[in-house]
Structures are given as C-alpha cells and as structure tokens.
Structure 1
Amino acid sequence: MADVRSSFSAPRVRSSVSAPRVRSAVITGASRGLGLASAARLYRDGWHVVAAMRSVDSGMKALRELTGAREGDPRLIGTPLDLTDAASVTAAAKTITEAVGAPYALVHNAGISAAGMVEETPADLWERMFATSIFGPVLLTKELLPSMRAAGTGRIVLVSSQGGVRGMPATAPYSAVKGALERWGESMAGEVAPFGIGVTVVVTGTYDTEIITDAGTTDCRDLDGPYARHHRTMDKRGRAAMRMAARSPDKFAAGLAKALESSKPFVKTAIGPDARMLLIANRVLPSAGLHQMTRLMLGIPRFGALRGQGRSDG
C-alpha cells in the first residue's frame, strides 16, 4: 500500500520574512586615502567589503587597524589589483566573483596624481594615468557586469574630482582622465539602467590624503623652465588653498555611503563644500568666465604677458 502520509500532512508555511542579504562592495585603491576610509566605513556599516589594491599586505593591515576586523573575517577581503595589468584585473575579477558573486557596488576610486604643464609631462605618464583610471576600470567593469546584470541590481560609482569638471592648469593629464571618467559614466548609465544597475559620478572636494602632498604626486615641473613664473605663484596659492579646504577622508567616506543608497539610474553629486561650489559655478558661469576666474585665483599671467620670454635657445 502506498504511503499516504505525505498526502495528508500539514502544508508547510513559508516565512514572509527572509534573512536580509548582506550587500557587497568592491573598492579599488583601498590601501590608503579615500579608498581606505571608504572601505572601513562600509565595513563598519555592515557591508561585505572587497578591498582591491596593489599592496594587499600593508593595505589589509591598515584596514584591520581601522575597523578592528580580525584576520580571516569573511566580510573583509583583500585582493591584489594592478589596473595597468590586464591579467591582474582579470584575476581580481575572478576573486571578487568567487567571494561575493555579483557585487552590489563597484567603486572605482583608484587613481594617481601628477603636477606639470603639458610640455613638461612625458607621454608615458599620460599612458599610465589613463591605464589606471580608464582602461583598467573599464576592463574590471566589463568582467563584473554579466553577474551584476544577472542579479538585476547594483551601483557603479566613479570617483571624479574638481579637475574632471574644469580642466586645471599644471594638472592636464589628471584633468583629462577625470573628464574622460565622467563621460564614460554618463554613457554607461544609459546602457545598464534597463538592467537595474545605476551609475554615480562622485566629484570630490579637497581631502587630507597623500594624493595632495608631494609624496603622493608625480612631480614633472621644471621650476627653472619657461613656466617657472606660473609654478612659483600656483604652488604658493595652491598649498594655501589646500590647507584651508582639506577635510578628513572620513567625511568623504560618509558621503560615499550616502551616495550608495541612491536608486536613480544616473547621479552626479559632489562630496565636499568646495566641490559643490564648483558644480554650481560650472552651471551658472560661461566657460570663458570660469577660465578667467581660474587664472586670477592661481595668479597666472594675463594673455600675452610672456610673449618673447619663452623662446628656446635651440
């Protein structure tokens, strides 16, 4: 005789409340500066954080010291990532997928800084700048997008700067790459929004990190060359402005955490009062007006003032 117990057993009642899924975030450049502060903040907020960085040992040590996380904590994982090396990017994407599946947030924070006029900056610096901030991040995004599309949710955050809003003298490679980053984000937002993935471009203000110091910047300036007068004035005024405006990286991390709560398909937002003021000025003032304002603020000589003084002896 057939067992009929299953036919008359009480139906199973499924709970309408499921356990909340821990959201995961990938943050590049997480070994120092804004990336380090952001990774620590999200971990403390309960996120599952994958910290991608070139120096994993020192970076993870710094993260554990900031967060109190124990070694081997499954919510805090480090992965090697050299954005200038395609094989490293592919390997990092594999580690990320194995660790968290489809990440909810992909934060492209890694970047490098350089000082010098266009004439002074070598071609290989431009190539390294674009590899770090555009080509590598694009490849990492391409590797992770299939799983994010399948999940039907997520947010890609591109960390830009004031140099991406307006091209700034003596930082042309940096301004160029941040401008390209913003255009990439705007384009990608229209492509991925139908799959439930949003894009946020974050314009950062001035923060007290290594990137604004001599130690964190590749210095290509020729202080005895034709742009010496520019450099002397800009260096003095720039350092004074940074001392006044620089805020704690923790302030940025709080702004990033808030930005990740957005459900809009595309957002461009500023984190920091100086960045907010620039975005307002960029909307209100014509390009020529902003150019003139920048020249006056930085003490750059007026148009034509150095005619005849920049001739080469060759």
Structure 2
Amino acid sequence: MKTAWVTGATGFWGRNVVMSLLRLDWRVVALTRSPPEDLIVWARSQNKELVWQHCDLRLLQLPELETPSALFHCAAVFDTLETMMQVNVIAPIQLIESVLPQMQAAGEGRIGIFLGQNGRIGLPNLGHFSATQGAMWTWAESQSRTLAPLGNVSLSLVFPPRAPSDLQGKLAEKLTKPPKLSTRPTADDLVKNVLLGHRCVGRRPVLAGISTLLW
C-alpha cells in the first residue's frame, strides 16, 4: 500500500483529496494542525487507513515519517502577508524539498500543488494573496520543468474549479462581484491525473484568467 501526504486535510480540497486517495486504496497521512475527526471515522468505517500527523505550516516542523510516494499540498490561508507567505509559499516549498531527494532515490514520486486560478492576476483588494499564489505558481512551474526529464518523479500544478470553501468565501468578500462556484466539485479526476504524472491538472489557467478579466 502506497502512502500519500496531504496538507490542508481539514479544508475543502484537502478533504476531497483525502477521500479520493482512500477510495483508490492509498494510505493517507493528513498533515494538519488539528485532527480531521470525521474523515478518520469515515476511513475506519470503510476499512481504509488514514493517519493524522500534527503539522502547523505557520511554524513548520517537518514530520519524521517514511517518505511518501505522493504529496498533495492543498493548504492555503487568507491572512496577513507574513502568514500567507509562510503558509502559502515558504513552508510548502520546504516540505516538498524535504521529500524530493528521497523520492528521486526511490525512483518514484508524485507531487500535486493546488493553486488559485488567478494567482498571477492582480485583482482589486487581493494583492497580497495574489503575490503568494503567483510566487508558488512560478516556483512550481520551475520545479515541474526541472523534474520532467529526470525520471519518475513529477510535480503537477493543480487548478481546481472554484468551490464553496472557507478560503473562497474570504476571497469573495474582497471582490465586487461574487465568483461562480461549482456546485458539486470532486477531486477524483484531479487526483488521478496527478498520480498519472500530468504536469498541469484541472482548468487551464489561461482560460481561467481570461474568464476572470471578462467577468
């Protein structure tokens, strides 16, 4: 049984990623500040293996765990610039770079980074959040291109549909027009394509950006 780490497992997309991986019979380690109690109960009821590991991206202490075969970074916050830089950029980069050498030594690894669709667009009142998303986006692009010719370790940029998450709600409060949300989005296709090693997963960011500028 292969193991996947998931940050933000108590958030909307993190929860969906955990459930998708469990349905695919992966062993999942949830890296969160508090345990995802309901997910743990559900996993037990389905005879799936979900383990909680305390991990606060604001004060990152790298978990001393067996290197995963996959890592999904789904955590993001809308807060002060300092906190957003730590949680949205610095900590996930440190976490990913901590497992990359072991993945490369093992000859396999899949990394999926969930990103805001409009991270490079300076929307009104979202400058700090856009800055952190843009920084993570360009770093992920660089890493994805670097890893592509080297072997069986891949990094995917994941652009999920807009969903009714707490983060989306906080972002929408800063906009003059509320965004259109997907009513029943799941992470199944996103997870499967990350595990297949696709470098860009989900909505096409260029089309998402155009739609935002027109909307």
Say whether the fold is shared (TM-score over 0.5). yes
Asked if structure 1 preserves the Cα contact closer than 8 Å seen for 2:118 and 2:208, the reply is no
Residue equivalent to 2:157: 201
Higher relative contact order (CA 8 A, sep 6+): 2
Residue equivalent to 1:7: none
Asked if structure 1 preserves the Cα contact closer than 8 Å seen for 2:156 and 2:197, the reply is no
Asked if structure 1 preserves the Cα contact closer than 8 Å seen for 2:140 and 2:155, the reply is yes
CA distance in 1, matches of 2:43, 2:208: 42
CA distance in 1, matches of 2:151, 2:172: 40
Residue equivalent to 1:9: none
Asked if structure 1 preserves the Cα contact closer than 8 Å seen for 2:155 and 2:197, the reply is no
* Residue 26 in structure 1 maps to residue 2 in structure 2: no
Residue equivalent to 1:224: none
The DSSP-based 3-state class of the residue aligned with 1:31 is coil
Residue equivalent to 1:63: 39
Q: What is the deviation of 1:78?
A: 0.7
* Residue 104 in structure 1 maps to residue 78 in structure 2: no
Residue equivalent to 1:39: 18
Correspondence list, 1:250-261, <5 A? 251-261=185-195
Question: Runs of 4+ in structure 1 displaced over 4 angstroms?
Answer: none
Correspondence list, 1:220-231, <5 A? none
Deviations 1:142-200 (A, max 9, x none): 22122111111111111101222433222112211111111111111233331421110
Where do 5+ consecutive residues of structure 2 fail to align? none
CA distance in 1, matches of 2:139, 2:53: 25
Asked if structure 2 preserves the Cα contact closer than 8 Å seen for 1:163 and 1:175, the reply is yes
Deviations 1:263-299 (A, max 9, x none): 35xx1232xxxx44x53365xxxxxxx59x73x64xx
Asked if structure 1 preserves the Cα contact closer than 8 Å seen for 2:78 and 2:129, the reply is yes
* Residue 247 in structure 1 maps to residue 183 in structure 2: yes
Q: What letter matches 1:199 in structure 2? A: L
Call closer, same or farther: CA 1:255–1:161 in 2, change over 3 Å.
Answer: farther
The DSSP-based 3-state class of the residue aligned with 1:205 is coil
Where do 5+ consecutive residues of structure 1 fail to align? 1-21, 115-124, 222-230, 283-289, 298-314
Q: Give the TM-score, by structure 1 length.
A: 0.61
The DSSP-based 3-state class of the residue aligned with 2:144 is helix
Q: What letter matches 1:246 in structure 2? A: S
Asked if structure 2 preserves the Cα contact closer than 8 Å seen for 1:52 and 1:79, the reply is yes
CA distance in 2, matches of 1:268, 1:68: 29
Deviations 1:111-164 (A, max 9, x none): 0125xxxxxxxxxx1111010011101111122122111111111111101222
The DSSP-based 3-state class of the residue aligned with 1:84 is helix
Call closer, same or farther: CA 1:107–1:33 in 2, change over 3 Å.
Answer: same
Q: What is the deviation of 1:74?
A: 7.7
| Structure showing greater Rg | 1
The DSSP-based 3-state class of the residue aligned with 2:187 is helix
**Match for residue 171 of structure 1 among 113, 120, 126:** 126
Asked if structure 2 preserves the Cα contact closer than 8 Å seen for 1:161 and 1:205, the reply is no
Correspondence list, 1:120-131, <5 A? 125-131=80-86
Moved more, 28-37 or 160-169: 160-169
Query: 1 or 2, which has the higher helix percentage?
Result: 1
Residue equivalent to 1:269: 201
Asked if structure 1 preserves the Cα contact closer than 8 Å seen for 2:115 and 2:157, the reply is yes
Residue equivalent to 2:146: 191
The DSSP-based 3-state class of the residue aligned with 2:44 is coil
Q: What letter matches 2:112 in structure 1? A: V
The DSSP-based 3-state class of the residue aligned with 1:55 is coil
* Residue 132 in structure 1 maps to residue 87 in structure 2: yes
CA distance in 2, matches of 1:49, 1:164: 28
Asked if structure 1 preserves the Cα contact closer than 8 Å seen for 2:30 and 2:51, the reply is yes
- Count of equivalent residues: 214
CA distance in 1, matches of 2:95, 2:135: 16
Call closer, same or farther: CA 1:206–1:74 in 2, change over 3 Å.
Answer: closer
Q: What letter matches 2:116 in structure 1? A: S
